[in-house]
Structure 1
Amino acid sequence: MVDAIVSPLLEQLISISYEEAKQQVRLVIGVKKQVKKLTSNLRAIQAVLNDAEQRQVKEKSVRLWLDQLKEASYDMEDALDEWITARLKLRIDQAPAPKKPVCSFLVSPCIGVKQVFLRRDIAQKIKEINENLDDIARQKDMFNFNVIRSTTEKSERIQSTSLIIVSEVRGRDEEKNILKSRLLCESSEQHNAVQIISLVGMGGIGKTTLAQFAYNDKDVIDSFEKRIWVCVSDPFDEFRIAKAIVEDLGGSVRDLGEFNSLIKHIHESISGKRFLLVLDDVWTEDYNKWEPFRYSLMNGLHGSKILVTTRKETVAHMMESADVISIKELSEQECLSLFKRFAFANRPLSECEKLEEISRKIVGKCKGLPLAAKTLGSLLRFKRNREE
C-alpha cells in the first residue's frame, strides 16, 4: 500500500518540474538538483517496495522502515502542495494590471517579502525531506530487498474494454460535455483531416471511464462510421495494436503475418471513412513507434478523431494532440456518491445512516480518485458495522 503513496508523489514531482521548465519560471531557486535527487531516491525505493510490503508482516524492522517512509512521503506531499499554491499565487501576481506601474525583481514582478520567504521555506523543506529520504534510502540497503515487479502496477494495467453502462458514470459533467463537443466538432481550421485529442491525468483518475462514456454516447455513435477501441498499455506492442485495429475494423488477420501488411490494411480500410479510434492507456514517448500508425490513420475522412488516454502530458505532445484535456480529481461529494454506490449496495437505510460519518472520513482519504473510491467501496460492501 505504500506504493500507492509513493507513485503519485513521483508523478507530481515530475509534473511540477515539467511545468516550471515549460513556463520558464524559477519559483524556488536552486531546487532543481534537489528535485532530481528526490526523484532518484523515490525511484530506487519504489523498486523494492513490493518485497518490503511482503516482509513487513514477519519483520518488525522492515515495518518500522516503511513507517518512516510513509511519514517522509506525507511531509513531501505537504511541501509539494505548498509549492503548487505558491506557483498559483505567482501567476496571479504576474497578471497584467494596466493602471498600476510594474516593477521587476529577477524573473518575477513585484513579489512581496512574504512570497520571497515562502519560496525559501519551500526550498528549505525540500532540502530537509531530501536529507531524511537519503537516510531512508541508505537504510534500505541493509535489508537486501529484492527488486520485484509491483503487483499494483500489474493490476493497474488490466486490459480495458469499450463496454460501460453510461447511466452509471458519476459526476464529471463538465469533462463529459467538453469531450463530447470536441469529438463532434468539425472545424474547418484543422490542419489534418484526423484530429487527435488526449485525456491526461494520474492513474485512477477516471480517464478510461470518460473515454468509455464518450465511445458509447448515442450522438457519438451516430457521428462515426467506424469505432475502434484498443487498450495499448505498456509495453507498446505495435503488432498487437495493429491486429486489434484491423479486427475492430471488421478485417481478418489470418493472412496478415507482417506488420507492414497490417498497417497497409488499416490505411486502406479507413480511406474515405469517418472513424473514432480510442487508444487507451498509452505510455510510450517514442515517436518512432507511433509514426507508422499516424501515417496509416491520417487517411480517414475529415472529422475523424483519435482519442488517447495517458498519464503523461509528454505522450500527448509526442502524438501531436490538437486538444489536451487535463482530468482533475472528483469533488468530495462526487467521490462520496461513487463510494456509496458500491459500499452501500443492498443495505437498509438505517444502516447507511449509521455509516454516513465514517464513509465521509474514508472518502476524504481517497483524495478525489474515483478508482480509490470504487475499490474501497467494493471491499467494504460486505462489512456490516462501523467497527468492521
Structure 2
Amino acid sequence: MAVGELFLAVFLAMLFNRLTSPELLQFASQEGVRSKLKKWEKKLKFIDALLMDAEEKQLTDRAVKMWLDELQDLAYDVEDILDEFATEALRRKVMSEHHASSSKERSFISACFTGLTTSAVKFTINMRSKIGDITSRLEELYSQRTELGLEKISGGTSTTAWNRPSSTSVQIEPAIFGRKEDKAKILQMVLSGGSSETNFCVIPIVGMGGIGKTTLAREVYNDDKLIEVFNPRAWTCVSDDFDVLRISKAILESMTSSSCSLQNLNEVQVQLKNKVTGKKFFLVLDDVWSRDYGLWETLKSPFMAGEPGSRIIVTTRSVDVALTMGQSEYYKLKLLSNDDCWGIFEKHVSGSAVVVSGQNLNSIRDKVVEKCRGLPLVARTLGGLLRSKQRYDEWEDILTSKLWDLPEENDILSVLRLSYHHLPSHLKRCFAYCAIFPKDYEFIDEELILLWMAEGLIQQSKNKHLEDLGREYFRDLLSRSIFQRSSINGSKYIMHDLVNDLA
C-alpha cells in the first residue's frame, strides 16, 4: 500500500480546514472563484465519507486501488493551488504595505495597483484554467463511486473488516516455544502475596501485535497451580468495542458456563458481584484497546467484592491501556529468539515433504527467521501456509515474497493493520511518514519530531509548542508498540520490520 492511501483521510481533513479559512475565502471572492472552492469542499466531503470502504476494498479490487491513487494525486494538486493562492495573496499584501509606507503614499499606491493589474490578470487566467481541470477530475472521481460500489460505512468503522476473531482459553498447542520464563514470572505475580492485598490486582501484559500475549495468558490461565487457587475463573475477549454490558455478560457466562439473557447492566453486575463475593477469582481480559477510565471503573465495580488476592490479567498493545487498568507496573513481552521462531515454524510444517527431504534446510531456516524477526505469529502463519506446499520452489516463492503478496489466508496483515486502525487521525499520518526510514534504522525521538514539524504533520495548538506536541505524538506511538527501544542502543528507537513494512 502506498503511504498516501494510509493518511489520505487525514490529508483531506487538512484541505477542508484550508478551504474554509477566512483568508482564503476572502481572496477567492476577489478572484471570483469562491463558489468553485465551496463545490470542491462539498464534493471532497462526500468522497471522504467513502474512504473507509475504499481502503478495505482496494486490497482485492485493483480498480478501487487506482481510484484511490487518482484521488491522492488530485488532493496534492488541490494543495498546490491553495499554496499558490496563499503566496499571491501574501505578495499583494506585502507590495501594498511597502508602497503605502513611503513618503509619496498616494502615488505609490496608485502605481502599485496599476502594476498589479497585469500580474493579477495573468494569475487569474492561469488559476481559472487549473481550477477547471481540478473540477473536471473531481467530478469524474465522484461519478465513479457508484460503479466501484463504494459506500459510506456507518459509524466510521467496519467491524467485519477490523475485528480480530474472538480468542479462546482452550489451549491450542501442547507446548509453547520461548515463553517458559515469561510464564514463570507471570505465575509468580499471580500467585504471590494474596492475603496482603485488597480485593484484586491487575496484571497487564503488553506487546506489539503477533508477539504472543494471548498465547502466554492462555498458558497461565490453564496452569494447574492457578486452577487450584482460583475459583471462579473467566476468559473474555474484549477487542475494540469496550461495551461494559457485553463484557460483563461474557464474564458472567464464562464463570457460570451458561448463557445470560439479561439486558440490563445493573442486573448483570449484581449477579457478577454475587458470583465473586468472598471468592478468589481469576479473570483474563484479552485484547483491550480502550483507554476510557470511566468505562473501566464501571466494569470493575462488581469485582471489588472478591476475596483479596484475586487477579485480573489484561493483554494489550498499549502501555496507556495497561496504566489505565492496572497499577504503575506492567509486563512487557519481548520478541522471541531465532531458534524459538524456527521451532514454531518446524512444528507447524511437521511432516512436509520439503522438510523431510532436508532440501536446502539451512537456506529455508535463514529466510524464515529473517521474515519472523521474533514474532511467533509470523512463524505460525508461514508454517501453516507452507505445510500444504510439497515442492521447494513453492516454498521459495512464499519465503521471498513481500508480506503483502502472501496468499490471502494469512492473518499477519490483518493483525498489523489493527494497530494502524486504532491510531487517532493525527498519528496515522505521522506513522505513515515513518516509511522514509529503511529497515533496522535507529533514530532518536528529537530527530523524528523535527522531521514531522518540517512536514507540517503536527497540529498547531494555542497552548503548546510544536516540539512539546511532537513529544506527545512520539510517546503515544511508543506506548502503542509502534516504536521500540533499540536493543543495541537504549537511547535510540527502532521499528520492527513488519511495522516498517506496514508504513
Confirm or deny a common fold (TM above 0.5): yes
Give the C-alpha shift of residue 196 in structure 1.
0.3
2:310 is aligned to 304
| Shift in CA distance, 351/57, structure 1 to aligned 2, threshold 3 Å | farther
Residue-by-residue CA offset, 1:80-105 (whole Å, 9 max, x unaligned) = xxxxxxxxxxxxxxxxxxxxxxxxxx
Give the C-alpha shift of residue 187 in structure 1.
5.1
TM (norm. structure 2) is: 0.48
2:434 is aligned to none
1-structure distance, mates of 2:211, 2:2: 18
2-structure distance, mates of 1:311, 1:160: 15
Residue in structure 2 matching 1:196, options 195, 202, 205? 202
Q: 1:282–1:308: 8 Å Cα contact kept in structure 2?
A: yes
Residue in structure 2 matching 1:334, options 337, 340, 363? 340
As a proportion of its length, which structure holds more helix?
Answer: 2
1:156-235 aligned at under 5 Å gives the runs 157-165=164-172, 167-186=174-193, 190=197, 192-235=198-241
2-structure distance, mates of 1:237, 1:339: 37
2-structure distance, mates of 1:257, 1:332: 49
Amino acid in structure 2 at the alignment position of 1:180? L
1:1-388 aligned at under 5 Å gives the runs 49-56=55-62, 154=161, 157-165=164-172, 167-186=174-193, 190=197, 192-250=198-256, 254=260, 256-321=262-327, 323-347=329-353, 350-388=356-394
Q: 1:194–1:298: 8 Å Cα contact kept in structure 2?
A: yes
Give the C-alpha shift of residue 345 in structure 1.
3.4
Structure 2 unaligned spans of 5+? 8-50, 73-137, 395-503
Q: 2:201–2:326: 8 Å Cα contact kept in structure 1?
A: no
| Shift in CA distance, 188/49, structure 1 to aligned 2, threshold 3 Å | same
Give the C-alpha shift of residue 251 in structure 1.
7.4
2-structure distance, mates of 1:61, 1:309: 38
SS of residue matched to 1:177: helix
| Greater displacement, 346-355 / 327-336 | 346-355
Give the C-alpha shift of residue 157 in structure 1.
1.2
Q: 2:196–2:309: 8 Å Cα contact kept in structure 1?
A: no
Give the C-alpha shift of residue 295 in structure 1.
1.6
Residue-by-residue CA offset, 1:60-81 (whole Å, 9 max, x unaligned) = 8989x99xxxxxxxxxxxxxxx
Give the C-alpha shift of residue 158 in structure 1.
0.4
Give the C-alpha shift of residue 152 in structure 1.
11
Q: 1:195–1:322: 8 Å Cα contact kept in structure 2?
A: no
Give the C-alpha shift of residue 242 in structure 1.
1.0
2-structure distance, mates of 1:345, 1:150: 42
| Shift in CA distance, 59/326, structure 1 to aligned 2, threshold 3 Å | closer
2-structure distance, mates of 1:368, 1:295: 38
Give the C-alpha shift of residue 357 in structure 1.
1.6
SS of residue matched to 2:272: helix
Aligned length: 275
1-structure distance, mates of 2:254, 2:189: 23
Give the C-alpha shift of residue 244 in structure 1.
1.2
1-structure distance, mates of 2:292, 2:218: 26
Q: 1:335–1:373: 8 Å Cα contact kept in structure 2?
A: yes
The structure, 1 or 2, with the larger RCO (C-alpha pairs under 8 Å, 6+ apart) is: 1
| Shift in CA distance, 254/279, structure 1 to aligned 2, threshold 3 Å | closer
Give the C-alpha shift of residue 313 in structure 1.
0.8
1-structure distance, mates of 2:342, 2:322: 31
| Shift in CA distance, 254/224, structure 1 to aligned 2, threshold 3 Å | closer
If you compute each CA radius of gyration, which structure gives the higher value, 1 or 2? Answer: 2
2-structure distance, mates of 1:150, 1:376: 29
| Shift in CA distance, 60/166, structure 1 to aligned 2, threshold 3 Å | closer
Q: 1:50–1:150: 8 Å Cα contact kept in structure 2?
A: no
Q: 2:54–2:68: 8 Å Cα contact kept in structure 1?
A: no
| Greater displacement, 350-359 / 362-371 | 350-359
Give the C-alpha shift of residue 165 in structure 1.
4.8
Amino acid in structure 2 at the alignment position of 1:209? T
SS of residue matched to 1:285: coil
Q: 2:280–2:310: 8 Å Cα contact kept in structure 1?
A: yes
Give the C-alpha shift of residue 249 in structure 1.
2.3
| Shift in CA distance, 186/385, structure 1 to aligned 2, threshold 3 Å | same
2-structure distance, mates of 1:339, 1:58: 35
| Greater displacement, 247-256 / 178-187 | 247-256
2-structure distance, mates of 1:374, 1:49: 27
| Shift in CA distance, 259/329, structure 1 to aligned 2, threshold 3 Å | same
SS of residue matched to 2:174: helix
| Shift in CA distance, 386/311, structure 1 to aligned 2, threshold 3 Å | same
- Alpha-carbon RMSD across the aligned residues, in angstroms, is 3.5
SS of residue matched to 2:59: helix
Give the C-alpha shift of residue 188 in structure 1.
5.4
2-structure distance, mates of 1:321, 1:177: 20
1-structure distance, mates of 2:63, 2:358: 33
1-structure distance, mates of 2:284, 2:2: 32
Q: 2:288–2:315: 8 Å Cα contact kept in structure 1?
A: yes
| Greater displacement, 313-322 / 370-379 | 313-322
1:19 is aligned to none
Structure 1 unaligned spans of 5+? 8-44, 67-140
Identity over aligned pairs, percent: 36
SS of residue matched to 2:208: coil
1-structure distance, mates of 2:157, 2:266: 34
